[in-house]
Amino acid sequence: MANDIKVLVVDDSAVVRKVFKDQLNRQKGITVIDTAPDPYVARDKIVKLNPDVLTLDIEMPRMDGITFLKKLMKYYPLPVIIVSSLTKKGSKLAMEALSIGALEVISKPNWAYSVGDMSVQLAEKIRAVHGAELKKRGGDNQSRASMGKTPLALAETTNKIIAIGASTGGTEAIKKVLTSMPQNSPGMVVVQHMPAQFTTSFAERLNELCQVNVKEARNGDTVTNGEVLIAPGNYHMLLKRSGARYYVEVKTGPLVHYQRPAVDILFRSVARYAGANALGILLTGMGKDGAEGLLEMKKAGAVTIAQDEASSVVYGMPKEAKQIGAVDYVEDILKIADRTCSVLQKLFA
């Protein structure tokens, strides 16, 4: 137990705190060292117990989770997993939490007594974020208006496709890439491992920050220049082609690498229908989802990019892709957009 990941559970529900503690303590390598009913109690226990990972509810008495997270990331940053209810309001708050510095979001069941059902998933998230190096930070004040125009420019018309996949830490990584892409970028399709309903708010937030238009994908949506389609939570997204028109198919199906949507599903469809007219980007994430799909894209003639270890929250998916020879370029997250535009400019020359 000395080497176990130390977890502090912060939630205003006594039932949830007890179930989380009981269930997580059954997971190998994880120990819940204590719980807290609100941020004020949590603050004192963080200083006293020095937990490795914090699970945090959003709506709590005395201080909400968002306000507490801002203070935490400013003065005492540590890996935080947001546990939020499935409401439209809650999902938007969860997106804000991710932009502030939370590393993962997990959906809280509607009934507290069913929280135990999610213990395995939560344990996986805890293992994924454990050890992530976080810097002190303030709030995210970026906006579409304040960003200005990037000097990089692409051709006005193209049939190129950019496919992006990410998991743990991916919401911020995707934001860093997309906010640096020019308005006339080729159409982009994105899979981020995220629960249902949260992807809507994720897309809406990105749309406010980016020069490209961002939306949650719907079945049959056309992939067009200057637009990004985010796979909806709990649905796979595939690229298809009809003549010169690219479009997406959004559908249910078996979990792939325990995920739906799965990056491999998207990447394999891009390899099939776009081939050498595509560029694949695999970002931070736990596991190996996307590695085989990225290799298929490369074999089909696509250019492939993976995030480097130093800038990844979890160097799992990019590492797997690199090890099997699926990656053309390995880049820091802040340089991926530049590399993407550079590659595309050469293709258009």
In a domain, 143, yes or no: no
Task: Please give the pLDDT value at position 227.
Answer: 97
Q: What is the largest CA-CA distance in the chain?
A: 63
Q: What global pTM score does this model have?
A: 0.81
pLDDT of 146 > 50? The answer is no
The answer to whether the peptide bond before residue 77 is cis (omega within 30 degrees of 0) is no
| pLDDT tens-digit readout, 316-332 | 999 999 999 999 999 99
Picking from 123-132, 202-211, 232-241, 276-285, which range would have the lowest pLDDT averaged per residue? 123-132
Neighbours of 141 (CB within 10 A): 6
Q: What percentage of the chain carries pLDDT values higher than 70?
A: 88
In a domain, 136, yes or no: no
CATH number at residue 282: 3.40.50.180
Together in a domain, 173 and 280: yes
| pLDDT tens-digit readout, 41-91 | 999 999 999 999 999 988 888 888 888 999 999 989 999 998 877 445 557
Check 269, 289, 308, 312 and give the catalytic one. 289
In a domain, 53, yes or no: yes
Together in a domain, 211 and 250: yes
Task: Please give the pLDDT value at position 98.
Answer: 85
Q: What burial class does residue 110 get, using C-beta atoms within 10 Å of its C-beta: 0-12 exposed, 13-18 middle, 19+ buried?
A: exposed
Question: Range of 222's domain?
Answer: 150-348
pLDDT of 152 > 80? The answer is no
Mean pLDDT across the chain, nearest whole number?
A: 87
In a domain, 139, yes or no: no
Strands of the sheet with 30-36, listed across from one edge: 30-36, 5-10, 53-56, 80-85, 104-108
Q: H or E stretch including 104?
A: strand 104-108
| Closest of 305, 261, 17, 335 to residue 163, by C-alpha | 305
Check 84, 167, 180, 312 and give the catalytic one. 167
| Closest of 262, 266, 270, 276 to residue 328, by C-alpha | 276
167 as an active site residue: the answer is: yes
Together in a domain, 228 and 334: yes
Together in a domain, 36 and 162: no
Task: Please give the pLDDT value at position 58.
Answer: 84
Query: What value does the mean pLDDT take over residues 79-105?
Result: 78
In a domain, 235, yes or no: yes
Task: Please give the pLDDT value at position 153.
Answer: 32
Together in a domain, 174 and 284: yes
pLDDT of 166 > 80? The answer is yes
Check 91, 193, 311, 312 and give the catalytic one. 193
Picking from 57-66, 188-197, 267-276, 287-296, which range would have the lowest pLDDT averaged per residue? 57-66
More confident residue, 183 or 348: 183
Together in a domain, 108 and 154: no
Instruction: Report the number of distinct structural domains present in the chain.
Output: 2
193 as an active site residue: the answer is: yes
Three-state DSSP state, 265 = helix
Task: Please give the pLDDT value at position 52.
Answer: 95
Amino acid at 203: A
In a domain, 285, yes or no: yes
In a domain, 214, yes or no: yes
Task: Please give the pLDDT value at position 243.
Answer: 76
In a domain, 197, yes or no: yes
User: 97, 129, 161 — which closes off a domain?
Assistant: 129
289 as an active site residue: the answer is: yes
- Chain position carrying tokens 């939560």: 122
pLDDT of 183 > 70? The answer is yes
In the structure encoding, which two tokens stand for residue 7, read together? 């977890």
State the Cα torsion 122-313-230-100 to the nearest 10°.
80
Task: Please give the pLDDT value at position 180.
Answer: 95
Task: Please give the pLDDT value at position 137.
Answer: 64
